[in-house]
Structures are given as C-alpha cells and as structure tokens.
C-alpha cells in the first residue's frame, strides 16, 4: 500500500527528529501494516534528498503532447 503524503511527512519527522529507523517505525505503528522495505526505501530517499516529494520529471512521459502540441485547445 502506498504512503499518503501525510504519512510520508510523519515518517520524515520521526527520522529527522527522533532518528528512528525502519524497524522501529514499523513496530510502533503495526496497525498501518507498512513493509519494512518500503519504509526503508522512503528513509533512504529522505536521507538523500531531505524531501518526500516526487522527483521532477519522474513518471511516465506524456507522448501525446510531444506529437500533437496544439491538440489541447
């Protein structure tokens, strides 16, 4: 299950202020049923970028706009 934006921000605060790791976060919030690997990936991203936002330009590229730039009228 993907994290909501609020959950990502909450995990970020726990990581930066309390220095909690993935196992600690998952054990404290068992009712959320987060996978340790998913939390670990998010923590790695937080440590690397300091943000929980998606990277600009990530995701599937929109090919329709490239082929037909004037089609959206």
From residue 50, alpha-carbon distances to 25, 55, 59 in Å are 18, 12, 20
pTM of the model: 0.74
Domain assignment of residue 39, given as a range: 5-49
SS3 content of the chain, % helix, strand, coil (to 5): 60, 0, 40
**Residues of the chain where predicted confidence (pLDDT) is lower than 70:** 1, 64-73
Is 66 inside a domain boundary?
A: no
Q: How do residues 53-70 score in pLDDT, each as one tens digit? A: 888 888 888 776 666 666
Q: Please, are residues 8 and 41 in contact by the beta-carbon 8 Å criterion?
A: no
Looking at the chain, the whole-number percentage of residues with pLDDT higher than 90 is: 68
**31 domain-assigned:** yes
In a domain, 10, yes or no: yes
Domain contains 69: no
Answer whether residue 58 is part of any domain: no
Phi/psi for 56 (5° steps) reads -65, 130
Domain count for the chain, please give it.
1
């Amino acid at each position: 299950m993907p994290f909501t934006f609020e959950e990502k921000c909450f995990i970020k605060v726990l990581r930066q202020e309390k220095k909690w790791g993935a196992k600690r976060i998952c054990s404290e919030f068992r009712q959320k049923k987060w996978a340790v690997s998913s939390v670990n990936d998010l923590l790695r991203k937080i440590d690397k970028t300091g943000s929980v936002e998606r990277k600009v330009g990530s995701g599937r590229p929109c090919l329709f706009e490239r082929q037909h730039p004037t089609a959206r009228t």
